[in-house]
């Protein structure tokens, strides 16, 4: 299940998140939004706790839509430490989205695991 955020909870759930967040700006009337939803759920399951997926109803959160200058729906923003690292919009099909999500997953999931292992290894050596 995708966590639904709004203008009131966006700062805490997205901008202050300890892990990178993929924000899905969508709307109930958007057909492509419904089509990509299963892909996003699969992506979330594959990434586990290393990436967070949230949804924002663009129609009900006009200030956020305006702040992030949405031109089309769906628009996906990868936000890390409050900074937009990647923007995905206007993808022609599911395969394009799948490739972009795979690239994101590889970047963040392998990067995090390497960093954690490196920190643990350094800490163990330094304590002897």
- 47 counts as catalytic: no
Catalytic, out of 21, 22, 23, 33: 33
Crossing angle of the two packed helices 31-47 and 94-126, in degrees rounded to 10: 20
> From first to last of its 128 residues, what are the pLDDT tens digits of the chain?
789 999 999 999 999 999 999 999 999 999 999 999 999 999 999 998 899 999 999 999 999 999 999 999 999 999 999 999 999 998 777 788 889 899 888 887 654 444 434 444 444 433 33
pTM to 2 decimal places: 0.82
Q: How many CA atoms lie within 13 A of 1 on its CB side?
A: 3
pLDDT for residue 110: 58
Give φ, ψ of 68 to 5 degrees.
-95, 10
- 33 counts as catalytic: yes
Catalytic, out of 30, 32, 39, 100: 30
């Amino acid at each position: 299940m995708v966590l639904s955020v709004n203008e009131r909870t966006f700062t805490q759930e997205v901008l202050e998140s300890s892990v990178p967040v993929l924000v899905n700006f969508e709307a109930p009337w958007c057909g492509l939004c419904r089509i990509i939803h299963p892909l996003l759920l699969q992506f979330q399951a594959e990434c586990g706790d290393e990436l967070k997926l949230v949804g924002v109803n663009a129609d009900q959160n006009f200030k956020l839509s305006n702040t992030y200058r949405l031109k089309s729906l769906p628009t996906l923003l990868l936000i890390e430490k409050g900074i937009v690292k990647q923007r995905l919009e206007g993808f022609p099909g599911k395969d394009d989205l799948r490739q972009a999500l795979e690239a994101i997953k590889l970047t963040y999931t392998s990067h995090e695991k390497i960093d954690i292992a490196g920190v643990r290894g350094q800490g163990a050596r330094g304590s002897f």
